[in-house]
Amino acid sequence: MNPVNPTAQATASAPRVAIVTGASGGIGRAVAERLGSDGLAVVVHYGRDKASADEVVAAVTAAGGVATAVGGDVADEDAMAALFATAEQLYGGVDVVVNTAGIMLLSPIAELDLADFDRMHRTNVRGTFVVSQLAARTLRTGGALINFSTSVTRLQQPTYGAYAATKGAVEAMTLILARELQGRDVTVNAVAPGPTATPLFLDGKPEAVIDAIASRTPLGRLGTPDDIAEAVAFLAGPGRWVNGQVLYANGGIA
């Protein structure tokens, strides 16, 4: 844990507070930095890469924001309870939770090692459930929970079957939770990125394959982490009338 402003307490003028899981790189980093620039105090969650999480904290604070790095396994309910407790101790509460933590292991369904399926299920499904459950219990009035799905649930691309299955589960729990929180003034949505230029997507793909995928979007390019962070910032801030939805941030790919 790397508290930058450990004396911060909830006051009438205190900023809103966001927890971003998987914030040490890729889309999670862009989300954390964007929410920090929007004036939220950000708890930068990481799984193993503390050094990268500290870099995100440094970037947020260098831009005038407030941030803290906290590690832990998203599928471990005790570790995540400690994460939420840290946010409350340092900043007085939690207003926004963004679940970007996830892993993607690709294989045709007939050939997939079931150990890989179990790994994805543990992080993508159980991890999202654990964090969503804590968010449902602790988010303050006016809060927002934003989970992460994938546009592959629509595109049905070969080798993505097991990964898409985990994200289908995320969508189901997200939409149901939005309705279970009726009367709380808390929104629950999912963002479903399309192909986005992150290491998770780019690793192992030949340049020709990447170019072919980019050409399928009407905008003629891959998404960027900042593109996805814009969608999250909308749902975390002004998008209060969007609730119980899956927002496809994919440039129109088909």
| SS3 assignment, position 158 | coil
Residue 207 lies inside a defined structural domain of this protein: no
Residue 242 lies inside a defined structural domain of this protein: yes
What predicted TM-score, i.e. pTM, was given to this entire model? 0.92
Catalytic residue among 46, 160, 163, 248: 163
What does the alpha-carbon distance between residue 171 and residue 125 come to, in Å, rounded to a whole number? 10
> Each residue of 76-106: pLDDT tens digit?
999 999 999 999 999 999 999 999 999 999 9
Give the pLDDT confidence score for residue 7 in this predicted structure.
31
Consecutive H or E run containing 90: helix 77-91
67-71 vs 2-3, strand pairing mode? antiparallel
Give the pLDDT confidence score for residue 55 in this predicted structure.
98
Give the pLDDT confidence score for residue 13 in this predicted structure.
64
What is the percent of the chain with per-residue pLDDT over 70, rounded to a whole number? 95
Residue 211 lies inside a defined structural domain of this protein: no
Catalytic, 248? Answer no
Structural domain tally of the chain?
A: 1
Among 173, 178, 142, CA closest to 17: 142
Consecutive H or E run containing 18: strand 17-21
**Polymer length in residues for the chain:** 254
**Residues pairing with 97 in the sheet:** 19, 145
Q: Split the chain (254 residues) into runs of 10 and give each run's mean pLDDT.
A: 36 82 96 98 97 98 98 98 98 98 96 98 98 98 98 92 98 98 98 89 82 88 95 98 97 88
Residue 159 lies inside a defined structural domain of this protein: yes
| CATH number of the structural domain spanning residue 85 | 3.40.50.720
Q: Show the domain range for 69.
A: 15-193+232-248
| SS3 assignment, position 160 | coil
Q: Where are the beta strands (DSSP E) in 85-214?
A: 96-99, 144-148, 187-193
